[in-house]
Amino acid sequence: MRLILYSILGAVFLRVMIVDALAVSINERAGNHFRTAANNQEFVLNKDNVNEAQFGLLRTYDFDGKVETQPLVVEKGAGADDLVIITTMKNDVIGINARTNQTVYRVKLGPEISSQDMDAWKHTPTWGISATPVIDAATNTLYVAAWLRKTANDNFLRDYWVFALNPLSGGQKSQPVRIFGQSQEGNGCWFNDSGATFRENNQVKQYVYPKLRAGLALTANNGLVMAFAANGEEALGGRKNPHGFVIAYDTRGLLQQPGFSREPAIFCATAFNSWGAGIWHAGGAPVTEDDMVYVATSNGTSNNGATDLSESMIKLKFINSTAGSRPELQRVDYYKAFLDERTSGKGCLWDDNDSEVSCGRAQVNKAGADWDFGAAGPMLVPGSRLLLQGTKDGIIYSLDKFKLGQNDRFNSLMSKPPLVSSYYGGDLAQNWDRAQHLNRSLPCPPRNSPDFNWFMPCGDPEGNRMHHIHSLALVQRDQDGAIVYVWGENSNLKAYNFTAKFGVLPTFRAEGNELASVNLDSPGGMPGGLLMVSGKPDAGANLPYAIDYGSSIVWAVYSKYGDANKDFAEGQLIAYDATTVQPGNKLKRLFRTGDDNNGGLGKMSRMIPPVVANGQVYVMIYRVGDVTNCSAPDNQLKVCSQLKIYGLK
């Protein structure tokens, strides 16, 4: 008995020593600036102990507001314990001790907005911090963007502000900055245009509100990057039109260091008289590498030039402040996916326009397909040229970061055809045939046909299926070998062998059995599965986020029943062996939260993936209706959130 006790205590002591020596912080959305959704410094959880006997729910923490942002984890940020940082739609920044569940601090950044005029589905009662913050470890600074009322009693005029906080205490390190200004590339857009207002019932309102969903990002040359969409996707005319924006500050200016500007660099993705190109990324942050920034845009106007960049991948260069100058965002390259409709005229841009343009797939003033090239955030494979983008058409596009392709939507792809990833795995010839029918931007004639014409439309998705992609994850072994995971709406988790070699096609590897949103027809059932992978580092790879295949686990929160976008979906947390392939090309399941009709998790948060760090898994859910410690404006549904913390029992 004494020997057994010593063995148990020894195992616990060893685990503590391992965590103490090899702990990790999660400072940004998807774990790193490549957005691989990977933590390769996980030494506690592994394929042997993540099971129903040893792994389960440890603690919960209730919030009195809705949470739409990913938790951040600061290793030893609460003394000897990890600090979990959560931000809410009530503009609260909350630090929690990951072991004791005690509140370390709670800071309110300003008055949140009552969102009844822009809450399409009537389940977001307030709007405040909606984008995952980022921690700059070099300066120990937490950057948060909060949406505030201009004055405490005026709910109709609203401003975004950037705050620089101490992540360990929530205290302000400098004065916050209001985001405002005109874009720099000459297309005439204004961010948060104070002149774009109208009067209704003796109240002044803004036509278009910028909306910040995508997480914040940092560049290697002191840039803080934010990517915006708007509260509408329709032509309103001139300065009233919604636009996608990328905005970047020099962090030295935000910290009020002398000689650096506190003005923003502003890039507008469409022209003054155009509309759309919002950047959503399902909450995912832009990819950054050195001074480069990659964002993917969604519905809006487009043309054969480089001015209107809806449904596009955009590569920008951040030029920081020098001698007090305003920083800049320079367009370097772009890729357009869906320029094939050739629609123009009344209702598309301005009334007398007759140029060759596309108004995107969310057509103006009439029903249209909602394709959103930027449905997921981009992912850059470390140590390679390979830039991946998941879209609402269920396809993963493999782009070359050094030559995105611009208006050549086929020949510059690193693998041709692009991977129809969330539909059917296996035979690539079948994938090519399906690609022709699933996506109008792929050619109808056979590849060898003399009549090959990129612009010929092929019709709507086969069987009305649109397995939207909102999340990607990567287990990378070396520069040539990796596994990409995707879980589309109304589909199951799929794994593909990917290489960064030009022209080499990905191959189907394996899939899970569980189906997302089993009670809904496609399209519908957002978001499918939201993913993260964990494991030990691959010591021989010489890459920053390479993962040992023998220890890697792929985690997901998915909508087991229902739609987490328009309504509330019953969710499930699930873990698979990331690399083992069982007979029938099936992934090996390690753990899931319950087998009952509800999935055992609760109402899943629609855009927050699980976060794995130092032996614990952090999962956000919604609490809906008549729940305690939760308030909402009059006549609005109460919706608040809860953090669930899982680990070894």
| Residue 434: predicted pLDDT | 66
Higher pLDDT, 530 or 13: 530
pLDDT at 469: 95
DSSP label at residue 48: T
CA atoms within 13 A on the CB side of 199: 1
Q: Is the pLDDT of residue 491 over 70?
A: yes
pLDDT, residue 428, reads 67
**Residue of 174, 291, 182 whose CA lies nearest to 247:** 182
Residue 145 banded pLDDT, cuts 50, 70, 90: very high
Q: Is the model's pLDDT at 237 over the cut of 90?
A: no
Tokens of 214: 């995508």
Residue 120: the pLDDT is 76
Which of the four pLDDT bands, split at 50, 70 and 90, describes residue 190?
confident
Q: DSSP assignment of 10-26, as one string?
A: HHHHHHHHHHHHH---B
The answer for residues whose C-beta is within 8 angstroms of residue 206's C-beta and 6 or more apart is 156, 157, 158, 192, 193, 196, 197
For 463, the 3-state DSSP assignment is helix
> With 0-12 CB in 10 A as exposed, 13-18 as middle and 19+ as buried, what is 519?
middle
CB atoms within 10 A of CB 539: 8
Local confidence band at 340 (pLDDT 50, 70, 90 cut-offs): very low
The answer to pTM > 0.85 is yes
Candidates 524, 544, 575; CA nearest to 56 is 575
Instruction: Please state, for a pLDDT cut of 70, what percent of the chain lies above it.
Output: 84
CA-closest candidate to residue 309, choices 338, 289, 285: 338
Give me the chain's average pLDDT, please. 86
What per-residue confidence (pLDDT) applies to 92? 98
Q: What does the block give as tokens for 151?
A: 């004055």
> How long is the chain?
649
Q: What is the mean pLDDT of residues 408-428?
A: 81
Q: Which residue has the tokens 């021989």?
A: 540
Query: Do the beta carbons of residue 221 and residue 320 sit within 8 Å?
Result: yes
DSSP single-letter state for residue 428 = H
Task: Write down the pLDDT at residue 496.
Answer: 96
- The 10s digit of each residue's pLDDT in 78-88 is 999 999 999 99
Instruction: Give the torsion sign (CA, 371, 373, 375, 376).
Output: positive
What's the average model confidence in pLDDT over 548-555? 96
User: Beta 639-648 vs 55-62: how paired, if at all?
Assistant: antiparallel
Confidence bin at 432 (pLDDT 50/70/90): low
For 276-296, how does the pLDDT look when each residue is reduced to its tens digit (9 = 90+)? 899 999 999 999 999 999 999
pLDDT greater than 90 at residue 27: yes
Tell whether the model's pLDDT for residue 568 goes beyond 90.
yes
Cβ atoms of 73 and 614 within 8 Å: the answer is: yes
For residue 482, the surrounding DSSP H or E stretch is strand 482-487
Domains of the chain: 63-178 (2.40.10.480), 179-425 (no CATH)
Indicate the helix (H) or strand (E) that contains 437.
Answer: helix 428-438
Residue 461 has pLDDT above 70, yes or no: no
Task: Evaluate whether 528 touches 491 at the Cβ level (below 8 Å).
Answer: yes
- Say if residue 364's pLDDT is above 60: no
Q: Where are any strands of DSSP class E within 477-610?
A: 482-487, 492-498, 507-515, 529-534, 553-561, 570-582, 586-592, 602-604
CB 498: neighbour CB atoms within 10 A? 28
Neighbouring CB atoms inside 10 A of 536's CB total 17
Instruction: Name the residue type at position 295.
Output: V
